[in-house]
Amino acid sequence: MKVMALFGLVEYQDAPPEVRAVYDDIMATRKTTWINNFWKAIAPHPETLKRTWASLKQVMAPGALDPLTKEMIYVAVSVTNQCGYCIASHTAGARKAGMTPEMFEELMAVVTMANATNRMVNGYQVEIDEAFRGEWPS
């Protein structure tokens, strides 16, 4: 069965040069030899492909936060939003960046705790403490 995406998947051998350039950069940046479906699915729109990859590459690069932390934050958001594809792909990314089963277990525990207390706070109609309102530099 063919893998589905709204506009189909653009494979490397069929891609125009501007798409191949992005694919090449993805593989070089990630040190892999394959491209996952997400990029092939948006490739029919090269401007979207270029803009999305440029943003993702910048955002996920090591900086004040290390790549593993960033991948785990990505998983936390994707789990909260219930995005199956994103959970699968970023859990794989986090594992590649060094996440152990114990780290995953704790990540999930924090995510579920946060999703729970986010609702308790609103259900009990709790106002924000003055102590939490101060600006950062103050």
Q: Work out how close the CB of 19 gets to its own copies at its nearest, in angstroms, rounded to a whole number.
A: 14
Looking at 10-18, 20-28, 63-71, which segment touches its own copies (CB under 8 A)?
Answer: 63-71
Residue type, position 116, single letter: A
Residue 87 near residue 79 (C-beta atoms within 8 A) = yes
Residue 102 found at the interface with its own copies (CB under 8 A): yes
By CB under 8 A, is residue 47 in contact with its own copies? yes
Which is nearer to its own copies, 28 or 131 (by Cβ)? 131
29 near its own copies, judged by CB under 8 A:
no
Q: Does 14 bind its own copies (CB under 8 A)?
A: no
Considering CB under 8 A, how many residues would be counted as binding its own copies?
86
Burial of 8 (0-12, 13-18, 19+ CB in 10 A): middle
Contact 25, 57 (CB under 8 A): yes
Q: How far is the CB of 16 from its own copies (least distance, A)?
A: 15
CB atoms near residue 19 (< 10 Å)? 22
User: Where in 68-87 is the site for its own copies (CB under 8 A)?
Assistant: 69-70, 72-87
Query: 82-101: buried (b, 16+ CB within 10 Å) or exposed (e) per residue?
Result: eeeebbebbbebbeebebee
Question: What's the min distance (Å) between Cβ of 104 and its own copies?
Answer: 8
